[in-house]
Amino acid sequence: MAERGVHLTTAFTAEDRPSIFEVLAQGSLMSAVKPALQHAVKILATSNPAHYGVLWRRFDEIYAILDLLLQHHFLSRTSASFSENFYGLKRVGTDSTHPAHLGLLRRPHWRSLFLLALLPYLHTKLEKILARQRDEDDFSIRLPQSLMQKLYRAFLAAYPFVCMAWDGWIFCQQLLYVFGKVRTHSPLLWLAGVKLSYLTADDIRNLGLKPTGPTLNPSQSIGEKFQHLVSTMVGGVAVSLSTSLSIGVFFLQFLEWWHSSDNQSTVKSLTSLPIPPPPIHLHNQETSLTHIKVCPLCRKVRTNDTALATSGYVFCYKCIYVYVKANHRCPLTGYPSALQHLIKIYTPEG
């Protein structure tokens, strides 16, 4: 069994091909970064809508631009996307070997850039438009439709089947890649005309020696100087993004895991307040009943009984209202409390 399944965890030496686990891991890296960044932007927008609300409203566009700069930088310098370079991989033509430090050829470069950055953005916008349209259709009155409206509704009906066919294509491609029948594990790589391979020792050495960009020549024209300045600025932004992501990628994955829907029960159990212990009653029943009716703050018989939801203790309304308003916590347990946690207790006698 081990001999038959060894091809699942090791690459074919003749083809210098990564294993299925490596290519799937690099593919899931960027898919985990976006939800984590989106949650961080949501927190900023919620805390200060006036300053950070535009980041939340235009998150898709801002992320697409930053992703475009990042992927363009890595494709030009390392012949790989950010996540592929993170795992020590590179993109090469399906029928040739190209040094990584020279970047991809022109046509594979622009194809890869479109499929890496622009296609996910278009897919996200299409999903949001279709979801909004479905919600509107659920509450709209069906009127006579034109030909374009009928075609649009036919597209809405066919879109889930198109997505299912695309997912099936990806699954079949990965299955064939495991058994060595195809050179690429993803249809996107096939459409870009490239395949994944390991970075060699020469590639790593050349990438370390590659200059950051063209040098500025005093004899250049104004247009060439402006182009050099723009190229330098874009390269600086891309380097900053890549460095930040390289350092914070594990933190972003932890943040995405922490706020995932599957993990909410675990998070709630870790962050919820402990159950307060019951009050200590005296052995004497009469004394115990008298003690229960005493307000813990004023030490007198309670009037207008009011319970504090965070701890469960009962006080006089005036006493606990004044205390919580001033201290924002329970006077007995110290649990954080607010005025909305005050609950009026009604008795049958009252």
Q: 313, 248, 330, 239: which is closest to 278 by C-alpha?
A: 313
pLDDT the model gives residue 307: 92
Buried b (16+ CB within 10 A) or exposed e, 174-184: beebeeeebbb
Complete DSSP assignment for 63-88 = HHHHHHHHHHHHHHHHSS-HHHHHTT
With contact defined as beta carbons under 8 Å apart, do 65 and 120 qualify?
no
pLDDT the model gives residue 282: 45
pLDDT the model gives residue 2: 43
Tokens 């919620």 found at: 46
With contact defined as beta carbons under 8 Å apart, do 342 and 317 qualify?
yes
pLDDT the model gives residue 176: 92
Determine the Cα–Cα distance for residues 280 and 29; give it in Å rounded to an integer. Answer: 54
pTM of the model: 0.58
> Burial, 302: exposed, middle or buried (Cβ in 10 Å; 0-12, 13-18, 19+)?
buried
Residue 286 CA from chain centroid, whole number: 60
Determine the Cα–Cα distance for residues 95 and 88; give it in Å rounded to an integer. Answer: 21
pLDDT the model gives residue 246: 57
pLDDT the model gives residue 96: 59
Q: pLDDT tens string for the chain (350 positions)?
A: 444 454 444 444 445 788 888 888 888 877 777 877 787 788 888 888 888 888 888 899 998 988 888 888 888 888 888 888 888 888 887 665 555 556 677 888 888 889 988 999 999 888 888 887 776 665 555 556 677 777 877 887 888 898 899 999 999 999 999 988 888 888 998 888 888 888 877 777 776 655 444 454 555 566 665 665 666 666 566 556 655 655 565 666 666 666 665 565 665 565 555 666 665 554 444 444 545 688 999 988 888 899 998 888 999 999 999 999 888 889 988 888 888 899 988 876 65
pLDDT the model gives residue 198: 86
Buried b (16+ CB within 10 A) or exposed e, 73-106: bbbbbbbbbbbbbbbebbbbbeeeebebbebbbe
